[in-house]
Amino acid sequence: MAGGYVIAEYQSIKHDFPEFERVMSNAREALLELARADWAPLTFGGMSATAGQFSESTIMPELFADRLGTRLTTWHQTYDVVNLGMTIPGHNVIMQGAQTPGYTIYEDYKIALVGFAFLDKAVRISEVKMQISDRKLPRVNLEEAMIYEKPAVVFEDFFLLDEETGFEMMAYVLSHGPQRIKLIGTQVNRVPNKMQVTNTGAALT
């Protein structure tokens, strides 16, 4: 990442971080360029893609898993020792790619990641770091985020999570309880039917 990051209120990212729209626009264009190159002759069909096109969507939690490899259906998790085998307080994997082995992003999906947001008032982690493929990103201290209602960490640059690329998010978990961490960005899908025909909450493969 060439730059750093900004911690802001999720509901007012555009106000608190005016460059957010530029980062999102650049991320989306880079993602579409990558998809057009890799998935040719498919063309971009937006959210209403048809045969011969790839589609766009929000980032879907079903492409990710918890620390034990259980597929997410929402961004909600409950951090605990019994069900997730977490060390609390302590360092834990909290999210990873759903495809095993390797905990990678499934084939036929690509993601542009520009940050992550907490959808809860209680922030149960004090630091986070990520690894994308073999690239390890620096630790981000989140203690400042605890003064916000629903804080978001927005990168000053973006990251592309290509299909079959490893992804891991690790955090220092402070306490037991519910936590919803949503990835901010956009996603493209090579097979529209996997997104348009399958039931909500169904596993994506």
In a domain, residue 200? The reply is: no
In a domain, residue 79? The reply is: yes
In a domain, residue 148? The reply is: yes
Q: In this model, does residue 163 exceed pLDDT 80?
A: yes
Q: In this model, does residue 1 exceed pLDDT 50?
A: no
In a domain, residue 91? The reply is: yes
Query: What average pLDDT does the chain have?
Result: 93
pLDDT single digits (tens) 97-133: 999 999 999 999 999 999 999 999 899 999 999 999 9
- Asked whether the beta carbons of 93 and 67 are under 8 A apart, the reply is yes
In a domain, residue 201? The reply is: no
0.85 cut: is pTM over it? yes
In a domain, residue 129? The reply is: yes
- On the 0-12 / 13-18 / 19+ scale of CB atoms within 10 A, 57 is middle
Instruction: Report the first-to-last Cα separation within the chain, whole angstroms.
Output: 29
User: 3-state SS of 69-133?
Assistant: CCECCCCEEEECHHHHCCCCCEEEEEEEECECCCCECCCCEEEEEEEEEECCCCCCEEEEEEEEC
pLDDT single digits (tens) 42-61: 999 999 899 999 999 999 99
Q: Which two tokens stand for residue 25?
A: 């626009």
Report the half-sphere exposure of 20 (CA within 13 A, side-chain side).
Answer: 20
Q: In this model, does residue 3 exceed pLDDT 70?
A: no
Q: In this model, does residue 2 exceed pLDDT 90?
A: no
More confident residue, 35 or 122: 35
Alpha-helical segments (H) within 51-202: 81-84, 192-196
- Asked whether the beta carbons of 196 and 202 are under 8 A apart, the reply is no
Number of folded domains that form the chain = 1
Range of the domain at 61: 5-193
In a domain, residue 199? The reply is: no
pLDDT at 195: 80
Taking the CA atoms of 63, 65, 69 and 71 in sequence, report the sign of the dihedral they define: negative
In a domain, residue 204? The reply is: no
